[in-house]
C-alpha cells in the first residue's frame, strides 16, 4: 500500500480549507487557492488531506474551528453525501460532490452543505474563452461516462442551453448508469447515447464538446469506434469549441490535437480547474473574483505546469 501524505500542519495559517481524497499529491488546487488568498492579502490556504478514511476526515473537519470548507475528490465524491446536512441543486442533479461549505444555524452551529463546482468550472471555461458564445438550442457532446461527465451534462444543459446532449464513451454500462441517474433526476429527456458511426452521421453536429476521458490511444474496437465518432462530429457542420478536461501530466492530448487539426477552438482543462476553484473560494470566503485575479492565477498554473502563455 502506498504511503499516505502526513496530516497537514495548519498552525501558520489564519484560516484553512482542505482537499480530501486519495491520491492527491499531484493536485494544483492548493497552489491555486494560495494564489487567490495571497492576492487578496489573506494568510489563508488550502491543504491536502490524503486519506482512505473519509469518516476520520469528517470528524477532523468538525473539530477544526478555523476551517472554511473543503474540496472533495476521488474516491469520495459520492461517498461524502451521507455525511452532509444539505445539498445544492447542482449537487443533487449531478449526484457527486466536490465542495463542502458551511452555513450557520440559528443556534450558531455549522450546517454542512455539499455542492458541485465542476459544472461551474466547465461553464466558465466556455464563457471566458469563447467570444460571443452562442450554444442555446445547439447540440452539445460529452466524451466520457464518469463523474465529470455528469457535471459536463449539467453545465451544457443548464448553463449553456445546449440541446440535445450527445454522450459517447467506450464503456456502454457507464453511459447506461449516467442515463439512469439522469432519468431519476428528470434531466434525461434530451440525452442521446451515440454508439455507431452511422448514428453520428445522421444527427446534427455539436457546437460545444467536453472531453472527460484520460489521454490514451484507442486500442480496443470500442475505443476505435468512439474515436471515429468524435472525428465525424468534429469534421461535420460548424466548428465550435472543445474543452479538454485532461491536463495532467500534459494538456497535449490525442483529442486536443484532433480538435485543433479539425479547426475547432481548443480550451485547456486548466480553465475548468480555475473556474471550479474560484467558485469554491467565493463560496468559502464571500470575496469576489475579478479579471486581474483570474489572470494572476492562470499565469501561476501555467508556470507551474510549464504551459506556454
pLDDT on residue 49: 97
**89-117 confidence digits (pLDDT tens):** 999 999 899 999 999 999 999 999 999 99
CA distances (Å), 120 to each of 39, 206, 215, 296, in order? 22, 20, 23, 20
pLDDT on residue 309: 63
Scanning the chain, the segments in alpha helix (DSSP H) are: 29-39, 54-63, 89-94, 118-129, 147-154, 172-185, 197-201, 221-234, 254-261, 269-285, 291-304
Average pLDDT score, the chain: 93
* pLDDT-flagged residues of the chain (< 70): 1-2, 307-309
**60-75 confidence digits (pLDDT tens):** 999 999 999 999 999 9
Cis geometry, peptide bond prior to residue 249 (ω within 30 degrees of 0): yes
The side-by-side arrangement of strands in the sheet containing 191-193 is: 191-193, 165-168, 140-143, 208-211, 241-244, 265-268
Place of cell 455525511: 83
Domains of the chain by start residue, with CATH: 15-116 (3.40.50.10860), 120-269 (3.40.50.720)
pLDDT on residue 19: 97
pLDDT on residue 7: 86
pLDDT on residue 302: 80
pLDDT on residue 53: 96
pLDDT on residue 303: 83
pLDDT on residue 132: 87
Percent of the chain whose pLDDT exceeds 90: 79
Amino acid at each position: 500500500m502506498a504511503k499516505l501524505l502526513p496530516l497537514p500542519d495548519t498552525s501558520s495559517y489564519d484560516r484553512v480549507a482542505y482537499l480530501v481524497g486519495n491520491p492527491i499529491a499531484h493536485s494544483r488546487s492548493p497552489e491555486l487557492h494560495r494564489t487567490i488568498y495571497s492576492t487578496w492579502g489573506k494568510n489563508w490556504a488550502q491543504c491536502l488531506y490524503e486519506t482512505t478514511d473519509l469518516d476520520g476526515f469528517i470528524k477532523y473537519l468538525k473539530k477544526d474551528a478555523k476551517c472554511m470548507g473543503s474540496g472533495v475528490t476521488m474516491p469520495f465524491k459520492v461517498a461524502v453525501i451521507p455525511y452532509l446536512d444539505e445539498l445544492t441543486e447542482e449537487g443533487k442533479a449531478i449526484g457527486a460532490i466536490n465542495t463542502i461549505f458551511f452555513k450557520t444555524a440559528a443556534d450558531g452551529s455549522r450546517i454542512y452543505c455539499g455542492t458541485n463546482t465542476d459544472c461551474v468550472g466547465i461553464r466558465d471555461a466556455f464563457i471566458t474563452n469563447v467570444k460571443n458564445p452562442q450554444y442555446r438550442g445547439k447540440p452539445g457532446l460529452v466524451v466520457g461516462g464518469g463523474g465529470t461527465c455528469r457535471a459536463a451534462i449539467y453545465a451544457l444543459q443548464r448553463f449553456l442551453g445546449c440541446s440535445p446532449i450527445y454522450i459517447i464513451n467506450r464503456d456502454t454500462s457507464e453511459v447506461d448508469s449516467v442515463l439512469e441517474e439522469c432519468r431519476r433526476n428528470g434531466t434525461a429527456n434530451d440525452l442521446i447515447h451515440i454508439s455507431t458511426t452511422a448514428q453520428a452521421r445522421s444527427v446534427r453536429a455539436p457546437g460545444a464538446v467536453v472531453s472527460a476521458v484520460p489521454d490514451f490511444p484507442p486500442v480496443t474496437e470500442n475505443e476505435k469506434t468512439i474515436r471515429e465518432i468524435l472525428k465525424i462530429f468534429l469534421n461535420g457542420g460548424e466548428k465550435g469549441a472543445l474543452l479538454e478536461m485532461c491536463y495532467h501530466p500534459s494538456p497535449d492530448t490525442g483529442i486536443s490535437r484532433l480538435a485543433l487539426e479539425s479547426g475547432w477552438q481548443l480550451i485547456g482543462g486548466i480553465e475548468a480547474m480555475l473556474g471550479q476553484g474560484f467558485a469554491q473560494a467565493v463560496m468559502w470566503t464571500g470575496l469576489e473574483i475579478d479579471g486581474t485575479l483570474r489572470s494572476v492565477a492562470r499565469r501561476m498554473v501555467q508556470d507551474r505546469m510549464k504551459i506556454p502563455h
